């Protein structure tokens, strides 16, 4: 019995000893986990401080020895050089991560997609930087097969491998793609959508492409979305997109003239543009009319206002006497929701074309008056070749 107690005591002592060793190892691991990133960070900071020191001293030496005769020329060269822009782009991306980490203090939910975006974007920037360096070497007389150029080519290839690995490396990207529609059904929908080629070609010919008028790229894109919906027969969508385009266009004009952004909604924005004499009284009346027709009725889906008193032909069926021949009659569309929806499609088809054409004329007048130097000479031919037609995003 005494021997058993002694043996149990030794086992407990050994267990305590092993536990202390294990706890010590865990603590050491925690210290390493905690300090190694900090060591890496400080190593990075030391390197950056040294680089900044070398750069500043070199710059001051060149200025002191009059090798750089004019400091202002140097500053201008630095800002405009393509190589400098790559560093600036990389810094901008890194700042995005910095702001993200700051926000995590308040809301600790890391967004992996942001990390992936920054990593891939920075790799592309760095790859472009080495391409610029290679071109600089070639411009200075180095041959394609020189060791210096070949070394840069090797780096560019390695960076490209890293970029490709990011494309397929994440679980989200390598996961099996999820589909909601069978392929045969999708092909049938596609065929039905584009089966009426002649009608679509006719609709494309009905609206101007607005190549000859200056608009910022964002508004060009909004106009393309507006008319492409009309081409596809999405007339309600084209009218709604037209509302977005008009508001965006007025904000563009306001910023161009006043050098400040406007967050106003449509009606206050129209009034502000009139006060600043960016639009005329007649144009204000048209824009207010568009606001009422497009924004207030279509964006809020007010069918009773869109179709208040449209009369449509119909047949009255006597359900008590099915064999009786239906009698022709006329009804107000808004009294019957089903008929109203059918009629609305035909009304939208006519109305969307009219509204787009009126809006184009209005936009052209306002743009030519506020961008006189830009719109004095067409930037594109009025009848563009097929190769210059807008492409689907």
Q: What is the pTM of this model?
A: 0.49
Residue 360: the pLDDT is 92
Which pairs count as long-range contacts for 302-308, CB under 8 Å and 24+ apart, including other chains? Answer: 303/334, 303/337, 303/340, 303/341, 303/344, 304/334, 306/344, 306/347, 307/333, 307/334, 307/340, 307/343, 307/344, 307/347, 308/334
Measured in whole angstroms, the distance separating CA 241 from the mean position of its chain's CA atoms is: 17
Residue that is written with structure tokens 């926000």 in the block: 103
Which pairs count as long-range contacts for 348-352, CB under 8 Å and 24+ apart, including other chains? Answer: 348/235, 348/236, 348/239, 349/233, 349/235, 351/235, 351/239, 352/230, 352/235, 352/236, 352/238, 352/239, 352/242
pLDDT above 70 covers what percent of the chain?
A: 78
Geometric angle at alpha carbon 66, from 64 and 68, rounded to 5°: 100
Residue 2: which residues within 8 A CB-CB, separation 6 or more? none
Of the CA atoms within 13 Å of residue 367, those in its CB half-sphere come to 24
CB 345 within 8 A of CB 333: no
pLDDT 10s digits, 286-332 = 999 888 877 777 776 666 666 665 666 666 777 777 777 777 776 66
Q: Would you give the DSSP letter of residue 260?
A: S
Show the beta-strand stretches assigned E in the chain. 311-316, 327-332
Measured in whole angstroms, the distance separating CA 268 from the mean position of its chain's CA atoms is: 27
pLDDT tops 90 at residue 281 = yes
**CA separation for the pair 115, 122 (Å, rounded):** 10
Can you name the residues that pair with 330 across neighbouring β-strands? Answer: 313
Least-confidence region, from 79-88, 144-153, 173-182, 348-357: 173-182
pLDDT 10s digits, 52-83 = 888 888 888 888 888 888 888 888 888 888 88
Of the CA atoms within 13 Å of residue 43, those in its CB half-sphere come to 6
Residue 119: which residues within 8 A CB-CB, separation 6 or more? 166
State the chain's mean pLDDT as an integer.
Answer: 79
* CA distances from residue 42 to 28, 39, 48, 49, 89 in whole angstroms, order as listed: 20, 5, 10, 10, 23
Mean of pLDDT values over 174-181: 64
Residue that is written with structure tokens 């009905």 in the block: 206
Query: For residue 340, what pLDDT band results from cuts at 50, 70 and 90?
Result: low
Residue closest to 353 by CA, chosen among 248, 235, 221, 243: 235
pLDDT above 90 covers what percent of the chain?
A: 17
**CA separation for the pair 312, 330 (Å, rounded):** 6
Six-digit token pair at 152? Answer: 């840069």
Residue 206: the pLDDT is 92
pLDDT tops 70 at residue 1 = no
**CA separation for the pair 143, 153 (Å, rounded):** 12
Residue that is written with structure tokens 């400080």 in the block: 42
Residue closest to 317 by CA, chosen among 309, 308, 325: 325
Can you name the residues that pair with 314 across neighbouring β-strands? Answer: 329
Higher-scoring residue by pLDDT: 182, 272: 272
Geometric angle at alpha carbon 102, from 99 and 106, rounded to 5°: 130
Helix 2-64 to helix 71-80 angle, to the nearest 10 degrees? 130
Residue 378: the pLDDT is 47
**CA separation for the pair 295, 328 (Å, rounded):** 36
Residue 111: the pLDDT is 61
């Amino acid at each position: 019995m005494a021997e058993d107690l002694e043996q149990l005591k030794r086992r407990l002592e050994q267990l305590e000893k092993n536990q202390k060793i294990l706890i010590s190892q865990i603590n050491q691991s925690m210290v390493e986990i905690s300090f190694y990133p900090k060591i890496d960070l400080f190593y990075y900071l030391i390197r950056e401080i040294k680089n900044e020191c070398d750069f500043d001293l070199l710059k001051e030496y060149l200025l002191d020895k009059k090798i750089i005769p004019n400091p202002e020329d140097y500053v201008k060269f630095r800002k405009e050089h393509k190589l400098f822009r790559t560093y600036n782009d990389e810094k901008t991306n890194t700042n995005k991560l910095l702001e993200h980490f700051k926000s995590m203090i308040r809301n600790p939910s890391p967004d992996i997609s942001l990390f992936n975006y920054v990593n891939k974007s920075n790799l592309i920037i760095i790859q472009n930087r080495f391409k610029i360096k290679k071109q600089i070497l070639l411009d200075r007389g180095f041959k394609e097969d020189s060791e210096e150029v070949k070394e840069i080519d090797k780096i560019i290839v390695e960076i490209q491998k890293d970029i490709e690995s990011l494309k397929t490396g994440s679980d989200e990207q390598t996961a099996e793609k999820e589909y909601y529609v069978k392929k045969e059904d999708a092909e049938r929908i596609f065929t039905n959508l584009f089966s009426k080629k002649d009608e679509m070609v006719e609709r494309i010919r009905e609206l101007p492409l607005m190549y000859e008028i200056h608009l910022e790229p964002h508004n060009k894109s909004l106009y393309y979305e507006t008319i492409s919906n009309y081409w596809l027969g999405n007339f309600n969508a084209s009218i709604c997109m037209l509302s977005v385009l008009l508001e965006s266009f007025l904000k563009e004009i306001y910023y161009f003239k006043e050098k400040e952004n406007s967050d106003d909604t449509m009606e206050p924005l129209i009034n502000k543009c009139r006060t600043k004499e960016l639009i005329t009284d007649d144009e204000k009346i048209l824009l207010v009319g568009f606001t009422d027709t497009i924004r207030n009725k279509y964006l809020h889906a007010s069918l009773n206002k869109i179709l208040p008193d449209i009369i449509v032909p119909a047949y009255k069926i006597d359900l008590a006497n099915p064999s009786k021949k239906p009698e022709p009659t006329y009804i107000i569309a808004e009294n019957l929701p089903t008929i109203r929806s059918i009629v609305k499609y035909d009304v939208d088809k006519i109305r969307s074309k009219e509204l787009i054409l009126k809006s184009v004329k209005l936009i052209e007048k306002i743009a030519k008056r506020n961008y006189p130097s830009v719109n004095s000479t067409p930037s594109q031919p009025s009848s563009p070749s097929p190769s210059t037609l807008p492409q689907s995003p």
